[in-house]
Chains A and B, each alone.
Chain A
Amino acid sequence: MTDRALVPRPRRLSAGLALRRNGAVLALAVLLAFNAAVTPYFLSPGTLNINLTQVAPIGIVAVAMTLVIATGGIDLSVGSLMAIAGALAPIVYAAALARFGSAGLGVALSIALPVLAAIALGWLNGAVITRYRIQPIVATLVLYIAGRGIAQVMTNGNVQSFAQPAFGFLGLGRILGVPFQALLMVAAVAAGAFALKRSLVGRQILAIGGNERAARLSGVPVVRVKRLVYALSGLASGVAGLITVAINSSSDANLVGSGMELDAIAAVAVGGTLLAGGRATVVGTLVGALIIQLVRTTLIANGVPDAAALVVKAALILGAVWIQRQGRS
């Protein structure tokens, strides 16, 4: 560890860095161009809107996942938290309507309470990780498994129909022709990117992921920051769960958020965030989420079965990790 400052960095390394920075954007551009040329009606407003509608839950969850991964952690429970929030919403609405007789209050509560529950469970993940020093992948695996079970028990395994028009705005509403949840996603990305770059907590998140012991010795409240990022992950999952229920006008504890943890982690990895923590880009994550959505669209629109799309997704993640390794000395 002597004078490395004077040694010019090898060229291959800077090429790797450029690839890591721009590889995802390049892939997105290629996918867009390919689809514009090949996929029928790709550029029609209808298709674009469907894509935006579908990518929003992934994007929202992935932004929070970026922060979790930036601390050196991971959250496998996001899909199950979505299912819990989704299962709670119709139950809360029905109970509130029966008790207060007000649809407005019912909708407000059916949004607020499920999201609060998801935040609390996310915070619990963080508490278990920090209090008992359990590896995040194990700690959140508990809720990944138990969470969906809880959601199914709450609903007796039934699909709940939930076609409340005001609630439905979350998944079906438009503002100036743009799906409401897409705007929510953009807001989440903007807030996440700004917070990571400029806020105290954002910088402390990166310090913890980069060197936790040094961060603690510099007075960073490691425990508090970690609990916060898992609570934020819960918040994002809760909102994403409600959006999914709103899109479908029904809540199926079996399906809401199923596989979301992998989509979100893939979006973060493809976007260029270091999975070991300490280096993260929220905007990159948005690009990653868009890529994953577009790959799915491309394959389905061109007649490739959904199962094969999973293989391509896996290949994408491998590619992203490979590119990350190129950038490291």
Chain B
Amino acid sequence: MPPLLSMRGVAKSFGAVAALTDASLDVARGEVHALIGQNGAGKSTLIKVLTGFHRGDAGTVSFDGAPFEASSPKDAQAKGIATIYQEVNLVGFRSVAENVCLGRRFSKLGLLDIGAMRAEARRLLARFGLDLDVRRPLDGFPIATQQMVAIARAIGFSSKLVVMDEPTSSLDDREVESLFAVIRGLKADGVSTVFVSHKLDELYAVCDRVTIMRDGATVRSGSMAEIPKLDLVATMLGRDLKAVAQGGTTGFGAKGGGARRPVVEARNLFRAPLVSDVSFAVGAGEIVGLSGLLGSGRTESVRLLFGADRAEGGSMALDGRAFAPAEPRDAIAAGLGFCTEDRKREGIVPDLSVRENMTLALMPRLTAAGIVDGKRQRDIVDRFVRRLGIRCSSPEQPIRELSGGNQQKVLLARWLCTDPKLLILDEPTRGIDVGAKGEIQALIRELAEGGLAVLMVSSEIEEIVEGADRAAVLRDGRTVAALAGDELTEERVIDAMAHGSTGSAPC
């Protein structure tokens, strides 16, 4: 029997950037199919090509035995493919019944047939064992229920395939279980599901087969039962377990010495829903890596340390004293700096100059009687432009006109000029060309050798293994391994990501 859905050799470029080069996806009837890959692997683009949000540049798609092309998500829905997004895309202030029937015609004599809509909504929800008051507005229900409503709506279109893009990221354990029950129910009715998630345990719990993507191409697909977790993670990250590269591909150079006096210590940090139990410590003059798959709570953990979010549990200490920043301002005053992973949304102020962006955090200290000391400001900026080799036409150039690598250097300088004790770097080399990447990595090492404590979050394993002196590995919001010295190998990190083993080094 031919598969329900077959996508072959799909390619898609946005301008000069290739998002998909050679992607394929086969889904059998009544199958629950996992689609996984790192950030930028092309999962979302592939789904958007399937649902008609994007038009593919090349490749063939067949669905239900015939060539398939959708002109829009609405068109795809009419043809039997429904998509449920991470954020529920429904109308919160309208009733459950109206939402379930959204996009379908329920009218009598030109007026809405509310009775029929309610009956239809009850009928569909009953299939999931849900008995709701369908007259109540949707946003009065928990997210999980809203998601069920979204699925019920999808089934109402007599979908043959339901695509779920990270449906569990905002659900708790019990809610996840009831979602799984729904998926199994769909399967029993012969409806297929494509399930996108980063939580390995969930994938193994509910999925039959898996397609793994990397760099815009499908690299492997097979039965979940035949691919062990470790293999899955290694394939996804593109690491060959047998031949871990010797020597450096990164610009970090030689590592520093052993553990030192801790500058900062975090114990059992907790903040729902992504941080469950995270601990780490960073000493002066060392680089500590924070590793983990997407959604493991890396960024969320360091945001707690910087006061960007408030911890709901656990404790932090700075120089041996209790530390609980309420705002980033407090953390900065205590000697912390934080380079975010999202330069554009959280880093640069696009219209301000290189000079102003660089001194944004330092400016209060350059101020006397409310007026900024322009000369000192310019001196400091000139020094860091030279030291970091920032390429700009002048410090007065708006930062938005700089390349990604140079923007990142300006943001690094924003913290370096405050002379911090601890620098938190979240994906310091993401979206930066190779040359600038090496320069930034070498700079980080140089700073650590000068006595700075560095906490580095990275999704690139080689950056952690080669760059960090020690590393903590997170999995589903928990620190599952602390690795140092000879233990800090790609194998051990990947193993911890997959299974959650514990290393011996204190971290």
A interface residues (Cβ-Cβ under 8 A, vs B): 1-5, 198-201, 203-204, 206-207, 210-211, 213-221, 274, 278-279
Contact = CB atoms under 8 A, between A and B. Distances in A.
Q: Give me the 6 closest cross-chain CB pairs, A-B, nearest first.
A: A210-B349, A219-B332, A218-B360, A200-B367, A219-B329, A218-B361
A5 B371 contact: no
A204 to B, nearest CB: 8
Contact of A203 (B329, B347, B350, B356): B356
A218 B349 CA distance: 11
A214 B347 CA distance: 5
Contacts of B361: 218-219
A82 to B, nearest CB: 28
A218 B372 contact: no
B403 A3 contact: yes
Contacts of A213: 345-346
A206 B352 contact: yes
A201 B329 contact: no
19 contacts: A5-B406, A198-B372, A200-B370, A200-B371, A206-B349, A206-B351, A207-B352, A211-B349, A215-B360, A216-B328, A217-B306, A217-B328, A217-B340, A217-B347, A218-B414, A219-B333, A219-B361, A274-B351, A278-B352
A203 B414 CA distance: 15
Centre residue among B346, B349, B363, B391 by max chain A CB count within 10 A = B349
Interface string B378-402: 0000000000000111000100111
A26 to B, nearest CB: 23
Contact of B360 (A198, A207, A221, A278): A207
B433 interface: yes
B401 A4 contact: yes
Given A218-B328, A219-B329, A2 B403 contact: yes
A102 to B, nearest CB: 36
B433 A2 contact: yes
B364 interface: yes
B117 interface: no
Contact of B350 (A198, A200, A211): A211
Given A2-B433, A5-B406, A214 B370 contact: no
Interface string B409-437: 00000100000000000000001010000
Contact of B372 (A2, A199, A214): A199
A218 B346 CA distance: 9
Given A217-B340, A221-B329, 16 more contacts: A1-B404, A5-B392, A200-B371, A201-B370, A206-B356, A210-B349, A210-B351, A210-B352, A211-B346, A214-B347, A214-B348, A215-B360, A218-B328, A218-B360, A220-B329, A274-B351
Interface in B146-201: none
Contacts of A219: 328-329, 332-333, 360-361, 364
Contacts of B352: 206-207, 210, 278
B129 interface: no
A211 B400 CA distance: 12
A222 B63 CA distance: 52
Contacts of A198: 371-372, 374
Which of A198, A200, A204 counts the most B-chain CB atoms under 10 A from its CB?
A200
A200 B360 contact: no
Nearest to A194: B371
A278 B404 contact: no
Interface in B264-293: none
A200 B401 CA distance: 24
B501 to A, nearest CB: 34
B308 A199 contact: no
A20 to B, nearest CB: 13
B344 interface: yes
B338 interface: yes
B299 to A, nearest CB: 12
A290 B393 CA distance: 36
A1 B16 CA distance: 12
Contacts of B308: 216-217
B350 A210 contact: yes
A27 B502 CA distance: 72
A218 B307 CA distance: 11
A199 B371 contact: yes
Contacts of B351: 206, 210, 274, 278-279
Contacts of B350: 210-211, 278
Contacts of A218: 328, 332, 360-361, 414
A55 to B, nearest CB: 29
B64 to A, nearest CB: 40
Contacts of A3: 403
Nearest to B370: A199
Q: Which of A216, A219, A274, A278 has the most CB of B within 10 A?
A: A219
B391 A217 contact: no
Nearest to B336: A219
A217 B346 contact: yes
A179 B372 CA distance: 34
A214 B341 CA distance: 12
Nearest to A9: B401
A278 B349 contact: yes
Given A200-B370, A213-B345, A214-B347, A5 B401 contact: yes
Interface string B86-118: 000000000000000000000000000000000
Nearest to A224: B329
| Residue among A206, A211, A218 with most chain B CB within 10 A | A218
B493 to A, nearest CB: 28
Given A199-B371, A219-B329, A219-B332, A214 B346 contact: yes
Contacts of A201: 370
Nearest to B331: A219
Contacts of B328: 216-219
A35 to B, nearest CB: 35
Contacts of A215: 349, 360
Given A199-B371, A200-B364, A215-B360, A5 B345 contact: no
